[in-house]
């Protein structure tokens, strides 16, 4: 649904439905939000099971002491844990299958993911693969497209303000054999409960704060531009955009500012709600092949693509981008101002990068465009301006 908007000089934007289209709002995750909420992980997990496959990355959670704290809370609540700590960034289908096998072998009755998007997405994949035959790729939108019949309940503990995966039904999983990195979307992957505790984010390094914060920005901007944007997704997306504009530079400069971490965590959660209700469009669709081919950090790829994609979208999304400009605090409600404000945000967090800085090569562009259409076709189709292979190749070239 495309909508027109009115503006006042106060920056208050009132989206106005062009046609009163129906929509579905799906947000069944029980959310525990705020400083100190991680202490409730045991009590929360206990609602769903007593032996958890506990999924996290190799180092950061252990080194920060967060892993031991969380395991201690679980032990105190009588939840046994089987730790799987081998998740890498851009998690692999093979890793998901290993974790799933461990869950089956040890008869786990729930899965807990602790970390950023990679750990939680891997946990989601394991919850499905542990209880259905054939390995996770069997259920991939690019594989056999099998439909799972069940999953273990999932509890997500987010430690970055980034993906919003703790409140959505998506998991992004890479096949190491084909380098394809599709988004899985299934209701079985929706966490039963999520804990978002900004105190866990105080120690996130600046570069990760910047990247994950821009991921929040693009989730919310893309949800706002999505062809199925609705009053429900707009509500979440617009507020997330405002919060990123206000708090991301502060969280980047002063990582120990709890107020900045709090509002960025809430922006991330809202952006997760926005993409669970609408979805992402062309920036995300074009980024996944970059992570798949070059192992690019997801949000650095988004940052590198964003200007060229939004310039492409501009003629088809003037009204919506003008709203975005207002959410970002631009002096005029003007679509070009949205692009300018987003550029300023990239600069404020020192991620105003180009694709070549991330290792992308001109000769790979046709393959990247083909991958984008094959693996992320849904996001392309939902884009406000239609894009074919030639258009996508041209955008990659402009972003190079």
Residues found near Fe ion in the complex (CB under 5 A): 215
- As a three-state string, the secondary structure of 149-216 is CCCCCEEEEECCCCCCHHHCCEEECEECCCCECCEEECHHHCCCEEEECHHHHCCCCHHHHHHHHHHH
Burial class (CB in 10 A: 0-12, 13-18, 19+), 186: middle
Name the residue nearer to Fe ion (CB basis): 215 or 319. 215
Nearer to Fe ion, 215 or 300 (CB): 215
Q: Which is nearer to Fe ion, 168 or 215 (CB)?
A: 215
Q: If you search the block for the tokens 């952006």, which residue do you land on?
A: 271
Q: Which C-beta is closer to Fe ion: that of 284 or that of 333?
A: 284
Nearer to Fe ion, 166 or 215 (CB): 215
Could you tell me the smallest distance in angstroms from the CB atom of residue 120 to Fe ion?
12
Could you tell me which of 109, 154, 152 has the C-alpha nearest to residue 129? 152
CA 334, CA 324: separation in Å to the nearest integer? 9
Is-contact 248 215, C-beta < 8 A? no
Segment (H or E) for 82: strand 80-87
CB of 331 to Fe ion, least distance (A): 29
Closest distance of CB 284 from Fe ion, Å: 6
Which of 97/215 has CB closer to Fe ion?
A: 215
Q: Report the alpha-carbon distance of residue 165 to residue 172 in Å, rounded.
A: 10
Residue nearest to Fe ion (CB): 215
Give the nearest distance from C-beta 298 to Fe ion in angstroms: 6
DSSP at 54: E
Shortest Cβ distance from residue 376 to Fe ion (Å)? 12
Q: Tell the smallest beta-carbon distance from residue 163 to Fe ion (Å).
A: 6
């Amino acid at each position: 649904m495309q909508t027109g908007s009115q503006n006042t000089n106060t920056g208050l934007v009132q989206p106005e439905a062009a046609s009163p289209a129906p929509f579905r709002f799906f947000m069944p995750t029980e959310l525990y939000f705020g400083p100190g909420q991680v202490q409730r992980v045991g009590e929360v997990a206990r609602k769903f099971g007593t032996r958890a496959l506990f999924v996290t990355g190799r180092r950061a959670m252990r080194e920060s002491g967060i892993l031991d704290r969380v395991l201690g809370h679980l032990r105190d609540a009588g939840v046994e844990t089987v730790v799987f700590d081998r998740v890498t960034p851009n998690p692999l289908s093979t890793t998901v299958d290993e974790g799933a096998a461990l869950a089956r072998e040890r008869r786990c009755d729930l899965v807990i993911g602790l970390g950023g998007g990679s750990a939680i997405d891997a946990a989601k994949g394991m919850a499905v693969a542990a209880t259905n035959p054939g390995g996770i790729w069997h259920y991939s939108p690019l594989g056999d497209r099998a439909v799972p019949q069940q999953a273990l309940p999932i509890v997500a503990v987010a430690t970055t303000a980034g993906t919003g995966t703790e409140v959505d039904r998506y998991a992004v999983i890479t096949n190491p054999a084909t380098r394809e990195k599709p988004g899985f979307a299934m209701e079985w992957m929706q966490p039963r409960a999520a804990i978002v505790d900004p105190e866990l984010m105080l120690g996130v390094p600046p570069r990760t704060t910047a990247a994950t914060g821009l991921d929040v920005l693009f989730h919310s901007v893309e949800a706002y531009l999505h062809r199925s944007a609705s009053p429900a997704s707009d509500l979440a997306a617009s507020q997330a955009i405002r919060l990123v504009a206000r708090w991301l530079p502060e969280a980047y400069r002063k990582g120990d500012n709890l107020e900045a971490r709090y509002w960025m965590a809430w922006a991330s959660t809202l952006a997760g709600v926005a993409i669970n209700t609408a979805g992402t469009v062309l920036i995300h669709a074009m980024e996944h092949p970059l992570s798949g081919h070059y192992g690019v950090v997801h949000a650095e790829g988004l940052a590198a693509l964003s200007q060229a994609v939004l310039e492409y979208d501009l003629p088809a999304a003037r009204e919506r981008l003008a709203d975005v400009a207002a959410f970002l605090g631009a002096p005029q409600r003007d679509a070009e101002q949205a692009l300018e404000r987003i550029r300023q945000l990239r600069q404020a967090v020192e991620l105003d990068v180009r694709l070549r800085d991330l290792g992308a090569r001109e000769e790979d562009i046709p393959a990247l465009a083909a991958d984008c259409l094959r693996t992320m076709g849904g996001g392309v189709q939902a884009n406000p301006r239609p894009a074919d292979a030639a258009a996508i190749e041209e955008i990659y070239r402009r972003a190079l």
